[in-house]
Amino acid sequence: MAPVLTSPVVSTQWLADHLGADDLTIVDATVLVDLDLDHDGYADPSSVTYETGRDGFERDGHVPGAVLADLLADFSDPGSDLPFTRPGVDRFEAATAALGISNESTVVVYDTLDGRWASRLWWLFRAYGHDAVAVLDGGWSHWLAQGKPYDLGEVTPAPARFVATERPGHWVDKAFVESVVAGDERAALVCASPRDEYDGVSGPLARAGHIPGSISVPSESLRADDGTLVREPVLRDRLALVPDEPRTVVYCTSGVSASVDALALAVLGRHDVSVYDGSLAEWVTDPSAPLVPVAA
């Protein structure tokens, strides 16, 4: 029987205790980012390069039994002009099945960075109807710091069968966000980007700032020094500014860091959350889309 999850996050000890369990799939979702900023802190988005964490997975190690998810080629839409656009149902099903994940699997996701990629894949699973998924609290760095075991080398999973059930409410598009800004829809807008980007001081896009009416909850502010989520009383305090609206929409540069805020809200029992998938990467390409550069 697959291990039962009671939270959207699991501790390193929980995972260590369940290594080798039937129907447990551990997934490394690492993506490496190379971004050259100019002296003003800006970069041409086309100059950003991404690569999977395959080299590190095989050379530096991974959680025993883990498989590697390719968020670039498999868990994104290759036909989109925007980075990391969510894949369609068929593509998600195929990518998930190729990792050996079935509808009966319990899935634990981690990455070797700050948890944003693990949170993004966690959100994709939730959006496609799979609730038995959690993020490893603190990720790979915390796993190693706790002295947990690891393996080296390539892993080839045995394919499985996975059937997705799409939950459209997990996503919103630009038109919906525009309706919120115009006052035609009620929703809280939460920006997960770093505070300097929210304020318009710096940023990787052609325009910096935030969508009007947004509050700032940087994803990095939700993590402790050891990479784990801050404890619940602190987490609740840092998310206390999120208005009580029928819906909460989280966004960032490309919809990845926003998933960390979505994860934190889920830990607090908030299930009214949607991710603006295009996020600012889409928003700023429309010259008529308003942006508030606080410190410009």
Residues carrying an active site annotation: 252
How many residues can be counted in the chain? 296
The dihedral sign for the CA sequence 225, 227, 228, 233: positive
Which residues on adjacent β-strands are paired with residue 229? 223
Contact 293, 200 (CB under 8 A): yes
Yes or no: say if 271 and 244 are a contact pair by the CB < 8 Å rule: no
Q: Using CA atoms, how far apart are residues 192 and 214, in angstroms rounded to an integer?
A: 10
